[in-house]
């Protein structure tokens, strides 16, 4: 039985219907090297690449000839719009897929197994650079790279001479406030919110990476740091208001993208006074495990291995009340 041959039809030149926006041209594309990971960002709008440069560009150029390990494609939808205030994003995952939903106009999905993500956002979200970077670009990148080779720790981190102290604690204990006080005391900032650790498989050495260019403090921080009066109030993904501090502008030369972990400090706020004391490594490890997010078995084993290595650097608890400047000196003493 032979397959019938259909003659080729010379269709008139026309624009096919494209309700799904498959035909959007991703004419803007660039490679970046955040956290030491080569990534390519593609979009139909230059606005997205400008935002990616703010999030990733300051980590340095991607090594020549090194192919991208991760791919993020984010398109600005020309037909859909979001009203302000922008909606609080919702994050969900199933198997190897991760989803960000912000509205019917703005969403993204990451394929963790393939190391790629796609999404559409409204012009309003794309033009709100702080919100767009935090909710979409940086979130997608971090989810992809954590699944592949990094372990996150929710903490602030300050450093001296390539050695860093991770400042951990529950929300509201003042991690970023203390990090800002450490900056004023002459230390460098590595991150105000999360660091990403990677264990060198050959040297068996830990290296941590952060995002050191922006500190986000609660608006009432002006009561402790009066020089922050007049700082613009921005919104993060959950719509909480914060003061965004440009570290490079306010503290030139104080941004450090990576270092070696030298100590781990758990912050406690008490009225009993100031105290820095060592704690058992097992206690520190249990506290760190509380923040580990469920993933595939192989990823969870890697996280456990990295965190077990981290607590060998030295683990402490720091209790203080009132001004953070004495606490900053205690952090400095560990370095």
The confidence band for 240, taking pLDDT boundaries of 50, 70 and 90, is confident
pLDDT exceeds 90 at position 72: yes
Pair (118, 193) in one structural domain: no
Pair (112, 202) in one structural domain: no
User: Tens of pLDDT along 80-101?
Assistant: 999 888 889 999 999 999 999 9
Pair (140, 164) in one structural domain: no
Among 148, 164, 182, the domain-final residue is: 148
- Look up the pTM and report it: 0.86
| Domain-embedded: residue 169 | yes
Structural domain harbouring 92: 28-148
- Centroid of chain to Cα 190: 12
Pair (309, 241) in one structural domain: yes
Pair (139, 175) in one structural domain: no
| Domain-embedded: residue 285 | yes
* Antiparallel, parallel or unpaired: β 28-32 and 116-121: unpaired
Pair (188, 138) in one structural domain: no
User: Tens of pLDDT along 175-207?
Assistant: 999 999 999 999 999 998 899 999 887 788 899
Pair (132, 170) in one structural domain: no
Pair (182, 264) in one structural domain: yes
Residues 6+ apart with CB under 8 A from 237: 88, 89, 131, 134, 135, 139
Q: Indicate the number of domains in the chain.
A: 2
pLDDT exceeds 70 at position 78: yes
In this prediction, residue 210 carries a pLDDT of: 94
Pair (32, 178) in one structural domain: no
- At 301, which helix (H) or strand (E)? helix 297-310
User: Tens of pLDDT along 1-48?
Assistant: 565 666 666 666 567 888 888 888 999 999 999 999 999 999 999 999
Cross-strand pairs, 158: 165, 189
SS3 of residue 229 by DSSP: coil
Among 133, 148, 163, the domain-final residue is: 148
In this prediction, residue 140 carries a pLDDT of: 98
Pair (55, 102) in one structural domain: yes
In this prediction, residue 15 carries a pLDDT of: 74
| Domain-embedded: residue 19 | no
Pair (90, 202) in one structural domain: no
Measuring CA to CA, which residue among 81, 99, 80, 79 is closest to residue 89? Answer: 99
In this prediction, residue 10 carries a pLDDT of: 63
| Domain-embedded: residue 70 | yes
Among 100, 130, 148, the domain-final residue is: 148
Q: How far is CA 323 from CA 2, 155, 180, 251, in A?
A: 86, 20, 12, 20
| Domain-embedded: residue 90 | yes
What is the per-residue burial (b if ≥16 Cβ within 10 Å, else e) of 282-292? eebbebbeeee
Residue 68: count of CB within 10 angstroms of its CB: 18
Q: What is the CATH number of the domain that holds 306?
A: 3.40.50.300
Pair (162, 237) in one structural domain: yes
């Amino acid at each position: 039985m032979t397959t019938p041959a259909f003659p080729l039809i010379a269709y008139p030149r026309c624009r096919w219907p494209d309700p799904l926006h498959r035909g959007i041209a991703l004419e803007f594309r660039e490679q970046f090297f955040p956290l030491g990971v080569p990534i390519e960002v593609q979009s139909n709008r230059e606005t997205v690449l400008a935002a990616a440069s703010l999030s990733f560009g300051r980590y340095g150029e991607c090594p020549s000839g090194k192919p991208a390990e991760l791919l993020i494609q984010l398109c600005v939808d020309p037909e859909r719009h979001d009203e302000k205030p922008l909606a609080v994003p919702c994050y969900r995952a199933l198997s190897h897929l991760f989803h960000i939903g912000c509205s019917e106009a703005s969403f993204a999905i990451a394929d963790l197994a393939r190391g790629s993500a796609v999404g559409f956002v409204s012009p309003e979200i794309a033009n709100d650079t702080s919100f767009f970077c935090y909710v979409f670009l940086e979130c997608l990148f971090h989810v992809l790279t954590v699944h592949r080779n990094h372990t996150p720790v929710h903490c602030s981190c300050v450093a001296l001479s390539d050695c860093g102290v991770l400042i951990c604690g529950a929300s509201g204990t003042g991690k970023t406030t203390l990090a800002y006080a450490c900056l004023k005391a002459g230390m460098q900032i590595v991150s105000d919110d999360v660091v990403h650790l990677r264990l060198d498989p050959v040297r068996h050495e830990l290296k941590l990476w952060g995002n050191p260019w922006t500190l986000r403090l609660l608006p009432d921080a002006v009561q402790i740091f009066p020089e922050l009066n007049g700082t613009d109030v921005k919104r993060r993904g959950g719509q909480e208001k914060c003061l965004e501090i440009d570290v490079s502008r306010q503290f030139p030369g104080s941004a450090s993208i990576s270092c070696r972990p030298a100590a781990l400090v758990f912050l406690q706020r008490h009225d009993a006074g100031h105290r820095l004391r060592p704690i058992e490594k097992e206690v520190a490890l249990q506290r760190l495990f509380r923040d580990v997010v469920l993933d595939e078995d192989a990823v969870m084993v890697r996280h456990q291995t990295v965190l077990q290595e981290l607590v060998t650097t030295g683990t402490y608890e720091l209790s203080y009340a009132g001004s953070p400047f004495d606490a900053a000196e205690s952090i400095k003493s560990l370095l």
